[in-house]
Structure 1
């Protein structure tokens, strides 16, 4: 039985929105990403619905669009937020857990889009290297490199922030 676009959206939109938030790290950007992706999905529904796994096809479209936004206009890259240093928790603050999450989101947001997308595809979508490479349109070695560099960057930045935080206590 063929699924209509409307049925697909009704059943998968919430999951796609969660995926977009993880991918972008920002609810507003995620909403824009989902909206633009779903317009493209609707325009190409015949092709999407014929895919073996339509949801995976849509997620690939979303990841590609997110990576392509890096090449877009400068105003898409401007963030109206404080510096990441403002997220360092105050000693004894009861909101340490929230501050830690904010710190992690801030560090993730600082990664290049390809690296962030590779991490999301690996650890959120649990895809193997070959499928990550296919989704990002690169070689398997390049996909592994994105993941490796992203994890190294995360370790370094989180370790340096932890040392700063420890020094404050």
Structure 2
């Protein structure tokens, strides 16, 4: 009978650890309960390389939202990106958005740079000042080609 108790206890510990792991993964992936504290914005990028749905949206290095959707606009051939931003963060209508890199080996994230307009973006608004991702390979090719020309 004592073996059964120890087996039940070990099974309970394993189940608790699995539940804790799943909860942690949900928090990391941004799947927290309820997204009612967000408002949606859109932006159109020439190149959205390096980001996907779930990518962090940051302001001054602090995560304030996530990328919620991406699609190709068939008329402009640009990447239309939908983001969700915390309700507590009010962005001016001249806010800039760009795709930044965490470093040479790090991933990309979406960075917001607030402007100085007294008017704020409304839910569903579009951020017009965009800068797409910069390809590290193309930068290296330009550097090598420019260095060889001199």
TM superposition score normalised by structure 1: 0.23
Larger relative CO (CA 8 A, sep 6+): 1 or 2? 2
Q: Point out the structure with the larger strand share.
A: 2
Larger Cα Rg: Structure 1 or Structure 2? 2
Q: Point out the structure with the larger helix share.
A: 1
